[in-house]
Structure 1
Amino acid sequence: MAHPSDASQPQPIATALALALGAAISLGLARFSYALLLPSMREDLGWSYMIAGSMNTANAGGYFIGALFCPWVFKKISAPKIFIASALLTSIFLGISGAVTDTTALFLLRLFAGIFSAFVFVGGGILAAQLANLHHRKSGLILGIYYGGTGIGIVLACLITPIAVDWSIHQKLNHIWQLGWWALALTGCLLTLFLAKPSLSIETAPSVRDSSQTTAISSYGKIVFAYFCFGMGYIGYMTFVIALLRQIGMSAQLINIFYAILGCCVMASSRLWARMLDVYKGGKSLFTLNGLLAIATLIPAIIDAWHSETGPLSPLSIGAIYFSGVIFGGCFLSAVASTTAFVKHNLPQSQWISGITVFTITFAIGQVIGPTLTGWISDHFGSLSMGLTLSSCILIVGSAVAYQQQPLAQKGKPHPTSL
């Protein structure tokens, strides 16, 4: 039976796709495009792996700060307005990153981009949850489309940054990576134009939280901890996998294809896991996704260790690396979607903002620790494979803990997306 408000949003999939452009900006362009520019930046600026990782730590740290302020900000200003303004500001900070070479300045710019990325991502998550609530039968698909939008950003980055870097090399510019940031910033501004009108069309619920219905975090502490492990584990792969592939001799063309395939799989994951997000109301979705991500993260680490003894990459090794990208791309943003689905299934609507914020802060803390820890381990052992092996182990722990999370009991209240 249709939800009473269905008529107010006649094109839910098109609207979800517009919201997905926010995820493309906040994560696809602002965070994960860095992996494509990292090798050139590290070589040009003389960075260690730890410094290189700290740049994504700065971005995640900004994301953490933004997440802390989300409850206050979304109480004062409507989610659509924050979503649009923050998408534009995130893009602007990307552009400024292409105008400086000082490590401290770049660190701070990554921090500010992270702050506004959090507002974009949380705001889009709130709007996606509201849209999904208006269309129960498409709930899991709508959430999957929104979070899968990160793949749009990754694919665009794969198309844009190699062209920008190659042109910079041809023009013999001093810092070949700078034009890449400017191109990404322009892309972000254009995407903001496309997402603005559809996001304003969504009817949002009041943002003030109902203090009389507080759900203790301890009741869903297992999935919160599992999500922390996800944040700390997955970011090592997304920060360093490109650098590892270059290190073992994979060509630039094959690397760009690998990352583009990963991004396409992120987009495809919205339909792949939609049913699971609708059916499982506890931690089983995150259990499944964390486990698959652990396998995907371990594959390039094993190939790196094996390659050091066997010589050039074989077709089998290249195929395994691509398989890793397919698994990882098909899972990692659906892990984020699984926590929004958990909030929708288990918390009253008045607590959605606070619930999503708890997961966002947890995610951010994991991402703050992850890149620097992975970089430090890699520097210490002189091998990126050791850092990725640690990331895989963390994801395995998160998978085991998520499995233990049961759905929350809601006395006399049906789940908003019950089938």
Structure 2
Amino acid sequence: MTRPNIKVTDKAASTKILIGGFVMLAIAMGIARFSYTSILPFMQSQTNLSITEAGYLAASNNLGYLVAAFCAGIITFGERRSTHLRIQVGLCILTTGLMGVVSSFSWWMILRFIAGMSSGFIFVLASSLVLDALLADNRGKRIGIFYGGVGFGIALSGLLIPLFSLHSWRGGWIGLLVISIILVAFIWSYIQEPKKQHISLKGSDKESSIKESKLFPYLLVVYGLEGLGYIVSATFLVSYVKQVPNMDFFSDYSWIIVGVAAVPSTIFWSWCMGKMGYVKPLIIALILQAIGVILPVLVPNIVGVGLGSILFGGTFMGISMLAITAARALKPTGGSQAIAWMTGFFGIGQILGPIGAGFVMDATNSFSISLALAASVLVIAVIVMIVGSVMSKGKNPEKNAVQF
């Protein structure tokens, strides 16, 4: 699918699209996907959900995310992105709330799969729509605000879930349903296609995009490894902290810290990209995330868990923003497809992560080994990114990186 460049002519319209995208990511990712991390301990204690079953539920959600990502790369949405987004947002909110209504593990698996699919479609379509609007309107510095929606959703759900789940785990899911409905009501009219005019690509731009695509395969691998490495901590951090001696009281706060750190982090990494391109910030962010994943294991106290949560929250959405924006820059004539492929590889890692971690935890009765393995995967991602940068240097891989 070939997508022409788009020029947005109304900054007020692109601001509305940005706000709508921010809230959609908060609902689809911060609430519908990552709230599971905060609710999981309540479900484990009140429903006898095992670690392996918890891993399967996370994997089911990630499988749906993967399916949606690849489907989004195949389907031609054209001018119907906003319509599909509205449908997926509604489905995402509904399946989140139904988790608190049913009690069957089989139904939970189905609901998490559907919620994952809707989240995947929302992430790809909203990213495509918002990036088209902002970059074409020369407002690239605001991309970080858009991806900050995930952190906002995580922080919000992390604060509210302990209150909603005070009497039952069901309250967590149903409370999130109500909050999501309130949020989406404010931005429903903002889910719209940007006003645009089509401009054909110049010959030099086409040639440049072909050269730039040499780094794209490395980005795919790195983003897949990121999905595998980060998801273990993203799924089991709160459960891990709960079982650390004298740290149970801090478990909910650890996830809130992740969300709070994630909100401004994307703005910071946007600034870094403007100064250094996307390769160096990606490498730095991956290194910091690896430290953040392993630190709670090496230093199992408030300092270790708190700093680890800050490093993890301050990098995981920054890495996504850097990788997705870079992919769009490397494939300017196929932005939606590039985002879909990136999200698909990310989704593969997210499926393997929780299942593998669940088996390791059941076999060892410890979270530590799984978190150490996750950190190792992130180190491998750093190596791949460095190799990709060196191998692509002849093609000047950062020449046309998005500048802010």
Same fold (TM over 0.5): yes
1:24–1:149 CA contact under 8 A, matched in 2? yes
Deviation of residue 370 (structure 1)? 0.6
Question: Aligned partners of 2:242, 2:84: CA distance in 1, in Å?
Answer: 38
Counterpart position of 1:401:
384
Q: Which residue of 2 aligns with 1:21?
A: 23
Q: TM-score, normalised by structure 1?
A: 0.85
1:333 and 1:58 map into 2 onto residues whose CA distance is: 21
1:127 and 1:199 in contact (8 A); partners too: no
> Of 317, 323, 329, which residue of structure 1 is paired with 2:307?
323
1:239 matched to 2:215: no
In structure 2, do the counterparts of structure 1 residues 327 and 204 end up closer, same or farther at CA, with 3 Å as the change threshold?
A: farther
What residue is the counterpart of 1:108 in the other structure? 110
Q: Are residues 203 and 416 of structure 1, via their aligned partners in 2, closer, same or farther at CA, if it must alter by over 3 Å? A: farther
Shift, 1:4, TM fit? 10
Task: Give the Cα separation in 2 of the matches to 1:84 and 1:400.
Answer: 40
The alpha-carbon deviation at position 73 of structure 1 amounts to 3.7
User: 1:127, 1:204 within 8 Å by CA — same for their partners in 2?
Assistant: no
Uncovered stretches (5+) of structure 2, i.e. residues with no partner: 199-205
Call closer, same or farther: CA 1:127–1:297 in 2, change over 3 Å.
same
Q: Give the corresponding residue for 1:388.
A: 371
SS of equivalent to 2:32: helix
Query: 1:291: how far off?
Result: 1.0
TM-aligned CA distance change 1:352 to 1:265, over 3 Å: same
- Match for 2:359 among 356, 367, 376? 376
Q: CA deviation at 1:204?
A: 6.2
Alignment of 1:8-407 (within 5 A): 8-10=10-12, 12=14, 15-75=17-77, 78-136=80-138, 138-139=139-140, 141-166=141-166, 168=167, 176-200=168-192, 202-203=194-195, 219-250=215-246, 253-281=249-277, 283-304=279-300, 317-348=301-332, 350-406=333-389
What's the CA shift for 1:282?
5.1
> CA contact under 8 A between 1:281 and 1:341: conserved in structure 2?
no
Which has the larger displacement, 328-337 or 186-195? 186-195
CA distance in 2, matches of 1:4, 1:351: 12
CA distance in 2 between partners of 1:10 and 1:355 (Å):
27
Q: TM-score if structure 2 supplies the norm length?
A: 0.88
Q: Percent identity among equivalent residues?
A: 23
Distance, in Å, in 2 between the alignment partners of 1:417 and 1:261 is: 30
Between the aligned partners of 1:345 and 1:84, the Cα distance in structure 2 is 27
Inter-partner Cα distance in structure 2 for 1:270 and 1:371: 25
Tell me the distance in 1 between the aligned counterparts of 2:87 and 2:271. Answer: 33
Q: How many residues align?
A: 387
Distance 1:4 1:149, change over 3 A: closer
* Alpha-carbon contact 1:287-1:401 (below 8 Å) kept: no
Change (3 A) 1:219 1:321: closer
How many angstroms does 1:355 deviate by?
0.6
Q: Give the whole-Å Cα distance in 2 for the aligned partners of 1:408 and 1:41.
A: 50
1:192, CA displacement in angstroms?
Answer: 1.9
Per the alignment, do residues 121 and 128 of structure 1 end up closer, same or farther by CA in structure 2, a change over 3 Å counting?
A: same
